[in-house]
């Protein structure tokens, strides 16, 4: 798993190179939105919100009660607002400093942190969007018979999708609150709803974990084995440790025991 997944983070260079590529794409989308709005790609339609800056700056989250956080349209609206604002602020910084030209007003690399923030926000938005769309697809009567799932499974997937979206918001709360899109009361209700979702998924935690179907030999874990016999495996693992194959560790008789004897018999 490590050898097949981790290298893909650096095929195109370090992570800042990747985030700069994403940021450049979003800046091009903002430019396109100003000239040909209909040509903005589906996954970045949110940049159209920035065309009316006055209205965009006054927009706020519509959550009134904690249950409102479970509405897909509210979740997507929050992620779209976050992405749009960060992209707009990066565009303003680049325009002000001529950031795309390293010889005019500052290097593009000066905006590495802003590029990371907006690309990270965009990636999280796409993940939330795809999760919601996938659940809608399996519920559609027009979907293939093989793709349809049982209603009880859909309920668990919806809980998991809600937890993913709301926990992502909670982990990046500053991005949603610094322009007052979230109010302090909404931030508190968000945390409360995350706790409710965690409790609701507790009974299905094992099933959701087993759904990945990772084989035991790949996990090589005493706690994560499929048989669930964690205590016996931990005991066996402890016996395999080199330090546990003898009564005391190396150096005890030479160094530690003389110090204990020096001040009389000491029992540990």
Enter the pTM of the model.
0.79
Specify whether 21 is located in the same domain as 107.
yes
> What is the distance in angstroms between the CA of the first residue and the CA of the last residue of the chain?
43
CA–CA separation, 195 and 189 (whole Å): 10
Q: Is the pLDDT of residue 182 over 60?
A: yes
Structural domain for 236, as ranges: 232-262
Domain membership of residue 223 (yes or no) is no
Specify whether 163 is located in the same domain as 238.
no
Contact (Cβ atoms closer than 8 angstroms) between residue 84 and residue 78 = no
CA–CA separation, 158 and 65 (whole Å): 19
SS (H, E, C) 230-250: HHHHHHHHHHHCHHHHCCCCC
Domain membership of residue 144 (yes or no) is yes
Which of the two residues, 234 and 176, has the higher pLDDT score?
Answer: 176
23 SS3 class: helix
Specify whether 95 is located in the same domain as 154.
yes
Q: Is the pLDDT of residue 99 over 50?
A: no
**CATH number for the domain harbouring residue 34:** 1.20.140.10
Specify whether 244 is located in the same domain as 111.
no
pLDDT-based confidence at residue 14 (cuts at 50, 70, 90): low
Domain membership of residue 222 (yes or no) is no
Phi-psi region of 106 (alpha: psi -120 to 50; beta: other; left: phi over 0): left
Which of the two residues, 101 and 153, has the higher pLDDT score?
Answer: 153
Specify whether 250 is located in the same domain as 191.
no
pLDDT-based confidence at residue 104 (cuts at 50, 70, 90): very low
Count how many domains the chain has: 2
Nearest to 75 by CA among 145, 156, 203, 162: 162
Domain membership of residue 79 (yes or no) is yes
DSSP letter (8 states) at residue 143: S
């Amino acid at each position: 798993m490590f050898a097949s997944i981790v290298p893909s983070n650096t095929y195109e260079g370090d992570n800042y190179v990747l985030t700069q590529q994403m940021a450049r794409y979003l800046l091009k989308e903002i430019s396109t939105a100003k000239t040909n709005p209909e040509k903005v790609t589906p996954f970045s339609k949110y940049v159209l919100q920035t065309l009316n800056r006055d209205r965009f700056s006054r927009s706020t989250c519509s959550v009134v009660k904690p249950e409102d956080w479970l509405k897909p349209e509210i979740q997507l609206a929050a992620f779209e607002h976050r992405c749009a604002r960060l992209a707009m602020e990066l565009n303003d910084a680049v325009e002000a400093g001529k950031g795309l030209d390293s010889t005019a007003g500052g290097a593009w690399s000066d905006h590495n942190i802003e590029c990371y923030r907006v690309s990270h926000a965009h990636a999280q938005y796409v993940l939330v969007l795809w999760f919601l769309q996938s659940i809608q697809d399996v519920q559609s009567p027009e979907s293939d018979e093989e793709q349809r799932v049982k209603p009880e499974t859909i309920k668990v997937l919806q809980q998991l999708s809600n937890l993913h979206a709301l926990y992502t918001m909670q982990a990046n709360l500053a991005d949603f609150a610094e322009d007052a899109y979230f109010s302090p009361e909404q931030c508190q209700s968000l945390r409360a709803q995350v706790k409710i979702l965690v409790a609701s998924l507790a009974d299905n935690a094992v099933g959701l974990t087993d759904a990945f179907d990772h084989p035991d030999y790949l996990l090589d874990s005493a706690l994560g084995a499929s048989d669930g016999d964690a205590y016996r495996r931990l005991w066996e693992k402890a016996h395999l440790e080199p330090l546990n194959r003898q009564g005391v560790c190396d150096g005890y008789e030479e160094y530690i025991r003389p110090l204990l004897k020096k001040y009389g018999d000491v029992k540990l």
